[in-house]
Amino acid sequence: MTQPNATRTSSVIPPKTSANRPHLAAQVAVRFVAMTALIATLLFLPAGTLRWWQGWAVLAGFVGTALAAFLTFLKIDPQVVERRLRTKERLREQKQIIRYGAFLALGLATLPGFDHRLGWSERWWGPEPVGLEAFSLAMVLTGMLGVAWVIWINRYAGRTIRVEEGQTLITSGPYRFVRHPLYAFSLLMWMFVLPALGSYVALPALVLFAPFYVLRILNEEKVLRVELPGYTEYCEKTRWRIVPGVW
């Protein structure tokens, strides 16, 4: 395996040899209770009401799909769950990028609730067709299932930027089309979650995500080119990063 330069901090980590299922299950339970409470607060507190079917549909779809994926991996490959539960970045640049992304996501998640309470979208553009909301919700779920597919293909796809000992380059599945399919599917989810909630007003704010995706991907590729054997050659063969024909 290509070794990083000894003069800088390496993101290469030793592999985990085992994963304790009951302990991981407890962690997953705690995380999902906290995540459900956070999402519900961000949606319904600004909305000022619980009588908002779009909010409940998005919450149920998001939490239900994510929980099903976690439980599946917990049974089949607990180390996948262990990797996905790691949130502490070791690279300074990534820590700054993550802080920006988290702040942006938290702020953006409150806008549909305020929109529902104050009626901005309905006043300016009229009621959103139920069919469009249902289609948008389906696309949100497609994005989440796509993320699960990526993780199924690449069991090393964690939430932090690191290369594990023994990790190999993945070029199959969605990696045949773009270098970062996980980000591609997460972008798809964000593009449709706002109309799924019946909010047009927040859509322009999505452009603020561009710096997050660009900076995180470029920094991640910098690490992978050094530490993951064959990645540079893969980049030469696979031109697009997240959107074919665009970038």
**Per-residue DSSP letter, 19:** -
Q: What is the pTM of this model?
A: 0.85
pLDDT tens for each residue of 173-197 = 999 999 999 999 999 999 999 999 9
In 3D space, the residue among 30, 1, 32, 29 whose CA is nearest the CA of residue 15 turns out to be: 1
pLDDT tens for each residue of 35-94 = 999 999 999 999 999 999 999 999 999 999 999 999 999 999 998 888 888 877 777 888
- Which residues are bridge partners to 13 per DSSP? 164
In 3D space, the residue among 61, 60, 40, 57 whose CA is nearest the CA of residue 113 turns out to be: 40
Residue 238: pLDDT band by 50, 70, 90 thresholds?
A: very high
CA–CA separation, 124 and 65 (whole Å)? 33
pLDDT at position 84, please? Answer: 86
> Has residue 3 got a pLDDT over 70?
no
CATH of domain 20-237: 1.20.120.1630
Residue 162 vs residues 16, 35, 123, 173: alpha-carbon distances, Å: 13, 24, 47, 21
213 touches 148 (CB < 8 A): no
Residue whose pair of structure tokens reads 């064959």 in the numeric block: 230
62 touches 39 (CB < 8 A): yes
166 touches 23 (CB < 8 A): no
**Per-residue DSSP letter, 167:** -
Q: What ranges do the domains of the chain cover?
A: 20-237
Query: How would you classify residue 173: left for phi > 0, otherwise alpha for psi between -120 and 50, otherwise beta?
Result: left
CA–CA separation, 83 and 80 (whole Å)? 5
